[in-house]
Amino acid sequence: MNPTATTPGGHLAPRLLDTIASLPSSFRWGVATSSYQIEGAVAEDGRTPSIWDTFSRVPGAVAGGDHGDVACDHYHRMPQDVALIKDLGVDTYRFSVAWPRVQPGGRGPVNPAGLAFYDRLVDELLAAGIDPWVTLYHWDLPQELEDAGGWPARDTAYRFADYSMLVFDALSDRVDTWTTLNEPWCSAMLGYAYGAHAPGRRDFGAAVSAVHHLLLGHGLATQRMRAAATRPIQLGITLNMSTATPATDSQPDREAVRRSDGLGTRIYLDPLRHGRYPADVVADLAEQGVSLPVQDGDLDIISAPIDVLGVNFYFGQVLSGTDEDGNTRDAQGAPVVREVPLDVPRTAMGWPIMPEGFTELLVRLSRDYPGLPMVITENGAAFDDTADDNGFVCDDDRTNYLAQHLAAVAVAHRQGADIRGYFAWSLLDNFEWAYGYDKRFGIVRVDYETQARTPKQSALWLRDTIKRVRAGG
Ligand code: FCB
């Protein structure tokens, strides 16, 4: 690693570092990635297109016309990347499995050549002393399944459970932790309501059906994996969540927060943990002429016991229920939920940096959904990096972001939230979905011309911080 970075994070307030150092020495530390964002090799060893291969070809869908054809070329550089992970001193690597690699077309038998990649990855990780943490679905739905209706179609949930079992049967002798979905809110809403992510549809009713079928797929897969397990395993799901604060104490502003929290958090966690959808959200949907396509028995499946909740947090929000002119309904008659611009620093994504919202979220989750250990499966930030001649990035902004958010986790932990680990998003700069390669979240820089990897200042800081916490502060 770069010798110029002798005191990574030296500028950080000592109080922040002491707070982080109060995390338990047994805390789990990791880095996270996802298949389409790093692998490349989209047509190799029998892989078929996913909705992201298709969507990224739609003119204007992805910044710069970028796509994942090569990405970080991780498919060909996997052993080198595992060595990099080991150098960071983390104990866990969270990666996702590409469904169209393992089961091309989304149905039928396993593709041994595609599965072999993950088999090798798991062995490589274990040999390096790193725990593999599998995400079964991080948004790369086989295109054929989208053509058959995608997540708004009930059958996709059953296809997902079948696919999950192909992977589980092959790797559960060595992989202890299995999470089904990454951020179903993004799959459903960004993909089917807002058209911002693959498959690019704009149909709110379809998006709400997708919510239910994603949860059903999670429950079906969870039940089957649990039944098939021959040794202790941990099962879970990862959700993206935020903390919304009302701009004022007015009724419309509090109402905006209720709605946003309902569709963002409670519509997932209530059925997962309490076996029912929140009544206020169901009523809001009915008012918009939309319903969740629940069939008898679905909620029992969805609320199948899980062992861990993956929490992805990036930013907090302050919301208002009125537009700039004071109206509570928009031109279509829908209730206004407006993000109020705040005077806080923002990342290159334009996301407001609000670490105190992270503490608030974690404490609230442990109160409203008790008895479920949490692991932070993603947290990190994009900034406009500048590399020196050696490819080194002195990313004080990202280091500071990580430190502030880790301290926020430590504070929540002290307040009693059952948080077991923290994974930085992301190991590498990568394909940031609709933003393409322009937005860099890596703690390791990737030079896309040469595919050279160079740990940034933030990576060195994280490595030192992990050592300190493990040593007991
Ligand atoms: C999350 C995604 C992840 C990455 C980060 C920045 O929503 O799970 O793939 O894009 O945002």
Residue spans per domain, the chain = 14-470
The strand order across the sheet containing 244-246 reads: 244-246, 317-320, 338-339
Amino acid at 149: G
Per-residue pLDDT of the chain (473 residues; tens, 9 = 90+): 443 444 566 678 889 999 999 999 999 999 999 999 999 999 999 999 999 999 999 999 999 999 999 999 999 999 999 999 999 999 999 999 999 999 999 999 999 999 999 999 999 999 999 999 999 999 999 999 999 999 999 999 999 999 999 999 999 999 999 999 999 999 999 999 999 999 999 999 999 999 999 999 999 999 999 999 999 999 999 999 999 999 999 999 999 999 999 999 999 999 999 999 999 999 999 999 999 999 999 999 999 999 999 999 999 999 999 999 999 999 988 899 999 998 999 999 999 999 999 999 999 999 999 999 999 999 999 999 999 999 999 999 999 999 999 999 999 999 999 999 999 999 999 999 999 999 999 999 999 999 999 999 999 999 999 999 999 97
Amino acid at 70: V
Question: What pLDDT is recorded for position 8?
Answer: 65
Length of the chain: 473
Which numbered atom of ligand 1 lies nearest the CA of 439? 6
Please tell me the distance between residue 137's alpha carbon and the centre of ligand 1 in angstroms.
Answer: 13
What sign has the CA pseudo-torsion 255, 256, 259, 260? negative
Please tell me the distance between residue 319's alpha carbon and the centre of ligand 1 in angstroms.
Answer: 22
Indicate whether residue 34 lines ligand 1 (CB < 6 A): yes
Please tell me the distance between residue 241's alpha carbon and the centre of ligand 1 in angstroms.
Answer: 12
> CB 53: neighbour CB atoms within 10 A?
21
Using left for φ > 0, alpha for ψ between -120 and 50, and beta otherwise, residue 145 falls in: alpha
Count Cβ atoms within 10 A of the Cβ of residue 226 and give its class: 0-12 exposed, 13-18 middle, 19 or more buried.
middle
Whether this model's pTM surpasses 0.85: yes
Indicate which residue's Cα is closest to atom 4 of ligand 1: 432
For the question of residue 356 being annotated catalytic, the response is no
Please tell me the distance between residue 398's alpha carbon and the centre of ligand 1 in angstroms.
Answer: 16
Count Cβ atoms within 10 A of the Cβ of residue 332 and give its class: 0-12 exposed, 13-18 middle, 19 or more buried.
exposed
Q: Compute the distance between CA of residue 235 and CA of residue 319 in angstroms, rounded to an integer.
A: 34
Question: What pLDDT is recorded for position 473?
Answer: 78
3-state SS assignment for residue 327: coil
Indicate whether residue 432 lines ligand 1 (CB < 6 A): yes
Phi, psi of 177 (to 5 degrees): -115, 130
Q: What does the DSSP 8-state code read for residue 324? A: T
For the question of residue 378 being annotated catalytic, the response is yes
Q: Name the catalytic one among 124, 183, 255, 432.
A: 183
Indicate whether residue 433 lines ligand 1 (CB < 6 A): yes
Which numbered atom of ligand 1 lies nearest the CA of 183? 8
Please tell me the distance between residue 431's alpha carbon and the centre of ligand 1 in angstroms.
Answer: 10
Indicate whether residue 441 lines ligand 1 (CB < 6 A): yes
Question: What pLDDT is recorded for position 12?
Answer: 86
Indicate whether residue 222 lines ligand 1 (CB < 6 A): no
Please tell me the distance between residue 342's alpha carbon and the centre of ligand 1 in angstroms.
Answer: 23
The CATH number corresponding to 14-470 among 3.20.20.80, 3.40.50.10540, 3.30.930.10, 3.40.50.2300 equals: 3.20.20.80
Q: Name the catalytic one among 146, 255, 378, 432.
A: 378
Question: What pLDDT is recorded for position 113?
Answer: 98
Indicate whether residue 186 lines ligand 1 (CB < 6 A): yes
Indicate whether residue 183 lines ligand 1 (CB < 6 A): yes
